[in-house]
């Protein structure tokens, strides 16, 4: 009859810790090697602003057209800066 050698509790703990350390290193490598985080957005398109403000796209377009919400036009693209959104939100707009 073949009998396996006795393994001490310390040996089992060491094996378990080695295994866990190897798995942790693999996971950390994927995090540490990942590309640089993207820069935070400083401007949004009208549909994105509509979602941010919980409004319709048409409502945001009306705010931009009336000048109540500042915007920037680059070619055919209209962008609304985060600072424009902040200025809009700092004031009451009872007439809108």
State in Å, rounded, how far the first CA of the chain is from the last one: 89
Q: Where does the chain have alpha helices with state H? A: 9-32, 46-53, 57-66, 82-89
In the DSSP assignment, the letter for residue 69 is S
For residue range 15-52, what is the model confidence (pLDDT) as tens digits? 888 888 888 888 877 777 767 777 899 999 999 999 99
How much is the CA Rg of the chain, to the nearest whole Å?
A: 29
| Structural domain includes residue 80 | yes
| Structural domain includes residue 25 | no
Percentage of residues in the chain having pLDDT higher than 70: 92
| Structural domain includes residue 8 | no
| pLDDT(7) > 80 | no
| Structural domain includes residue 69 | yes
| Structural domain includes residue 15 | no
| Structural domain includes residue 7 | no
CA 54 to chain centre: 19
Q: What pLDDT is attached to residue 3?
A: 63
- Residue 75's domain spans which residues? 43-89
Q: What pLDDT is attached to residue 4?
A: 61
Q: What is the pTM of this model?
A: 0.60
How many domains does the chain divide into? Answer: 1
């Amino acid at each position: 009859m073949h009998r396996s050698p006795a393994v001490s509790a310390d040996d089992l703990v060491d094996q378990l810790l080695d295994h866990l350390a190897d798995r942790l290193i693999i996971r950390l490598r994927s995090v540490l090697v990942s590309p640089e985080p993207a820069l935070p957005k400083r401007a949004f398109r009208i549909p994105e602003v509509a979602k941010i403000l919980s409004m319709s796209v048409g409502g945001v377009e009306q705010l931009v057209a009336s000048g109540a919400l500042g915007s920037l036009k680059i070619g055919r693209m209209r962008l609304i800066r985060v600072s424009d959104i902040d200025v809009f939100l700092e004031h009451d707009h009872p007439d809108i």
